[in-house]
Structure 1
């Protein structure tokens, strides 16, 4: 009888602990989403807006990383999503997914990032935009590698992988690199565009990121939370990179206006 009571107590304690952990994790994600949303619509201060969005993204990143490390409740959908993807494979989709994942590989992303950075700097006649693009993609890649090493999550079983990958799974380097690249390039190129053009470019960036994420899930080399956090990490890198880009533009604009103001005062 005492052994039975002890067993029941242990089971109840474990369930309550898991429930509390899940509630805290969900609450943290809700708060993170609220911070990011408020920061996105906050227009009174660019610095505060960036800080709010960055705080929301960091909170979401930390929460999901802890959940993955502890195999928490928020990872419950990883298995079912992977199983669904595996069950809906076909020869044609396999070829398309492999082609897309090759284009979004870390090496391809690095080369494309350098190319875009050089082209943007040449077009703007300034090294700053190009450095922002290359720096953002590079920072996202480094951060992804660090998180991979810290969390140390295993890949899905090798028997369901279309392309064999055995390094750490969390977060997805393909999604992180691709989202960081297209995100910062869109942000830089849309700096002086109309609102409609900005929305169109942003939609294109989101679409590309989703397609790459889906291919990684389809190929069986990542879990759902891997690609989600990859997108979050990339968004954080783009948020910081975009803030630095705007800061550089503001300083450049102020420097250009100063001589004109001095000439006008001299004429007066």
Structure 2
């Protein structure tokens, strides 16, 4: 199995990195950001909007993965950021960071995801929203595991880690899981809310994700590009989950209208 993963990784990297210079990497990130931004404001078609955002996120994740694997220019801030975090540690911050990272662990995220899914389904009187929440978080976790195996990045040196972790580093599973969970829960809960409430809930999700990302950097168990990639991957998962949720909701509304029309005709 390790040999197969190594072979796939080498083949993909050779195909995609022959001409990947710093300039091309930066251009790819700019294009990815433009696709995502345009998809976010494009209202003519929800399907096209989703596709544009997804394409931008995939392009950004692939570019960053290649740069990390090749130790490219986009990783140049990893070392300085980690060094700064290590230089500004304190006993109190250590305890806070450990507590936050424990709450954002993959196991804790999985349990919280199941609990949130069950609660949302109970309130909606439908299993669909809960399944979408659990499915989104699960898909993000699986994708994170696959990318970790393909990129195979080592974590920061063990002598600077507050909590010892030795598995692959890229992307951050904590950030991926946390962002995917809070993102899809916010998306489902805000479906019929006002714009002000939606923005407030989204701000909460972003804030929690940033806090978890900072603690992973502070503890010395991840590089900056690891947590960025985790956020990108989670956003991709939430984008896909949100598309499924909107599709199911649309089908449900259509069926309700059809049933209502049938009842009206029967009364006539």
- Tell me the TM-score range normalised by the shorter chain: over 0.9
User: RMSD value over aligned CA atoms?
Assistant: 1.4
* Alpha-carbon shift at residue 212 of structure 1 (Å): 0.2
Tell me the alpha carbon deviations over residues 32-75 of structure 1, each in whole angstroms, 9 at most, x when there is no partner.
Answer: 00000000000000000000000000000000000000000000
Number of the residue aligned with 1:75? 75
Over 4 Å off, 4+ runs = 17-20
Q: Aligned partners of 1:218, 1:20: CA distance in 2, in Å? A: 31
* Alpha-carbon shift at residue 261 of structure 1 (Å): 1.3
Q: Aligned partners of 1:58, 1:235: CA distance in 2, in Å? A: 10
User: What secondary structure does 1:185 align onto?
Assistant: helix
User: What secondary structure does 2:169 align onto?
Assistant: coil
* Alpha-carbon shift at residue 264 of structure 1 (Å): 2.8
Q: Which TM-score applies when normalising by structure 1? A: 0.92
Q: Is 1:104 aligned with 2:104?
A: yes
Q: Is 1:224 aligned with 2:227?
A: no
Q: Aligned partners of 1:147, 1:260: CA distance in 2, in Å? A: 47
Number of the residue aligned with 1:159? 159
Matches within 5 A, 1:138-177: 138-177=138-177
Q: Which TM-score applies when normalising by structure 2? A: 0.92
Q: Is 1:88 aligned with 2:82?
A: no
* Alpha-carbon shift at residue 260 of structure 1 (Å): 1.2
Number of the residue aligned with 1:120? 120
* Alpha-carbon shift at residue 267 of structure 1 (Å): 4.5
| Cα pair 1:18 1:73 within 8 Å, conserved | no
Q: Aligned partners of 1:254, 1:21: CA distance in 2, in Å? A: 50
Matches within 5 A, 1:1-268: 21-268=21-268
For structure 1, the residue ranges without an aligned partner over 5 or more in a row are 1-16
* Alpha-carbon shift at residue 257 of structure 1 (Å): 0.9
* Alpha-carbon shift at residue 174 of structure 1 (Å): 0.2
Tell me the alpha carbon deviations over residues 95-116 of structure 1, each in whole angstroms, 9 at most, x when there is no partner.
Answer: 0000000000000000000011
- Looking at CA atoms only, which structure, 1 or 2, has the larger radius of gyration? 1
